[in-house]
């Protein structure tokens, strides 16, 4: 698999925020805390995420009286045989609990297929036996930097079962503890309700994310998926909601408006014909497709015995196969997340450069909105990109991600964001371009605007120097953002600058 070369990064290798030196979330140092606890013979109680109803939040379909029944226990109080990991980590170790976070759990299912990433997110040198102090930690990529999240191991229990994700073996607790760490990032367990797999996939890797609307799928989508598997990507998907989703649920056994993980894709030969099959996993641990090529389908008798045995090793585990055609008909969207964009085309050996830039739109300073005919637009942050050569068709991928100031995930309101790309004439002076210079540059592309956490677009740019202007649709919206530019190494891309104060004073707004 080709790699990514970081040309400008928020955190250099080994620096704070890198995989080997993550930022300490809420300033909590896992090693220091653990050593102190062991010296004092105490078990950790996390005051920054206390074991109470505030940390649990308002769960869907759970009454106030039922919430009062919740108690918080440590795994060793739940099971005498409590273990962090038993025989490795797998998507079959757990299933969803009362928290409506299938988007997050489906992403965990995809994560378990990639052991190096799994070890980054879930440090495996943790135990309930040796030097146990009731403290654990997990790592997530958050807006350009890796963070280390410390938790205690008090888990919410009601009616003798976990309120959160449950453990299938009744004794393996890495998944419930991982969920608790992410709940701490989100603000509470309830703040994890509702979402899309790409958010968690990104937070597990910091990688490139692409979404495909399956009803408008590209003719080469199967090739894209095949390359994605070769590149060791994580993949998720979701079913239709609303009336259409209800009809699918009743007829074919699928869950409407639900997130799944894509765990494989394989071409088999059936009666002399090649059939493209997709393997999908339901984080409920049950609820499977009952159409063509389901676990009990007679169609499996038309393939070689060794292929059938390999594909159907376990039944009734929430995982199933279906044809690529049925996948595109009955699922709404496919999400792919990888550390490089190599899966997007057939240039699988290409090396990509990656540059990350932090920025912020500030009311009255650098939040000019999207109207490039307006002088205020040119107060937005600006970034320059130099393309010295080109190979292939799509050679630049742009990602614009909002970084919310809100502590609680459920309260975040994303602005409509986008960006505009201009081609600059040769020898354009460096620095922040003012409105007066806008007539001399060529508009190349104005992106769609979307109220999403991350906006991603692929572009084909010829050799030359470009100006990228990220902005909100409406002016005077304050927010932080992360701009990531991936370019094929042959392009020799360089990113200069960011938001530099224009030399002139900003004109007053008029109504």
For the annotated catalytic residues, the residue numbers are 102, 258, 282
Q: Which of 185, 158, 203, 136 is nearest to 66 (CA)?
A: 158
The three-state secondary structure class of 345 is coil
Q: Which of 178, 192, 177 is nearest to 99 (CA)?
A: 192
Between CA 374 and CA 380 the distance in angstroms is 11
Between CA 409 and CA 191 the distance in angstroms is 6
Residues 6+ apart with CB under 8 A from 429: none
Residue 67 backbone dihedrals phi, psi, to 5 degrees: -65, -35
Q: Which of 403, 388, 396, 395 is nearest to 357 (CA)?
A: 403
Sign of CA dihedral 107, 108, 113, 118: positive
- Going by the DSSP 8-state scheme, the letter that residue 327 receives in this structure is H
Q: Which of 191, 186, 193, 155 is nearest to 173 (CA)?
A: 155
Which stretch of DSSP H or E encloses residue 336? strand 331-338
Between CA 123 and CA 201 the distance in angstroms is 17
Between CA 305 and CA 410 the distance in angstroms is 49
DSSP 420-455: EEEEEPTTPPSSPPPGGGGGGSEEEEE---B-SSEE
CA of residue 301 relative to chain centroid, distance: 38
DSSP 153-217: --EEEETTEESSSEETTSSB-HHHHHHHHHHHHHSSSGGGSS--HHHHHHHTT--EEEEEEGGG-
Tokens 């997050």 identify what position? 104
Between CA 157 and CA 77 the distance in angstroms is 11
């Amino acid at each position: 698999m080709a790699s990514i070369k970081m040309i400008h990064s928020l955190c250099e290798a080994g620096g704070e925020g890198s995989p080997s030196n993550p930022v300490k979330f809420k300033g909590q140092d896992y090693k220091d805390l653990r050593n102190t606890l062991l010296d004092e013979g105490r078990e950790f109680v996390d005051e920054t995420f206390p074991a109470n109803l505030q940390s649990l939040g308002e769960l869907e379909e759970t009454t106030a009286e039922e919430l009062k029944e919740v108690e918080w226990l440590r795994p060793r109080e739940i099971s005498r045989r409590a273990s962090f990991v038993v025989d490795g980590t797998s998507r079959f170790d757990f299933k969803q609990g009362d928290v409506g976070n299938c988007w997050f759990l489906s992403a965990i299912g995809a994560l378990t297929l990639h052991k190096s990433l799994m070890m980054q997110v879930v440090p495996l040198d943790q135990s309930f036996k040796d030097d146990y102090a009731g403290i654990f930690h997990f790592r997530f990529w958050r807006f350009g930097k890796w963070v280390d999240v410390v938790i205690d191991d008090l888990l919410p229990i009601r009616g003798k079962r976990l309120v959160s994700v449950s453990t299938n073996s009744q004794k393996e607790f890495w998944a419930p503890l991982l969920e608790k760490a992410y709940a701490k990032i989100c603000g509470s367990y309830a703040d994890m309700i509702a979402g899309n797999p790409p958010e968690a996939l990104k937070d597990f890797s910091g990688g490139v994310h692409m979404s495909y609307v399956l009803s408008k799928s590209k003719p080469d989508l199967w090739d894209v998926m095949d390359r994605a598997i070769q590149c060791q990507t994580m993949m998720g998907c979701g079913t239709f909601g609303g009336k259409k989703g209800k009809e699918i649920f009743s007829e074919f056994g699928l869950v409407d408006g639900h997130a799944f993980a894509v765990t494989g894709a394989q071409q088999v030969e059936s009666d002399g014909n090649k059939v493209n099959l997709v393997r999908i996993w339901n984080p409920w641990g049950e609820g499977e497709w009952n159409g063509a090529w389901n676990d009990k389908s007679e169609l499996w008798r038309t393939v070689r015995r060794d292929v059938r045995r390999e594909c159907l090793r376990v039944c009734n585990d929430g995982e199933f196969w279906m044809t690529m055609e049925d996948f595109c008909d009955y699922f709404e969207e496919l999400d792919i997340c990888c550390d490089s964009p190599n899966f997007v085309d057939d240039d699988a050996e290409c090396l990509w450069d990656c540059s990350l830039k932090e920025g912020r739109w500030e009311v009255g300073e650098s939040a000019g909105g999207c109207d490039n005919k307006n002088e205020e637009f040119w107060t937005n942050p600006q970034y320059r990109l130099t393309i010295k050569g080109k190979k292939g068709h799509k050679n630049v991928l742009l990602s614009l991600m909002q970084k919310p100031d809100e502590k609680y995930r459920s309260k975040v309101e994303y602005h409509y964001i986008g960006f505009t790309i201009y081609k600059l004439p040769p020898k354009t002076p460096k620095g922040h371009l003012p409105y007066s210079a806008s007539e001399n540059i060529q508009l190349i592309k104005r992106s769609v605007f979307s109220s999403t956490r991350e906006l991603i677009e692929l572009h084909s740019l010829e050799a030359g120097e470009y100006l990228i202007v990220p902005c909100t649709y409406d002016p005077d919206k304050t927010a932080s953002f992360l701009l990531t530019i991936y370019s094929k190494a042959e392009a020799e891309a360089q990113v200069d600058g960011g938001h530099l104060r224009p030399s002139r004073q900003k004109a007053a707004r008029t109504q």
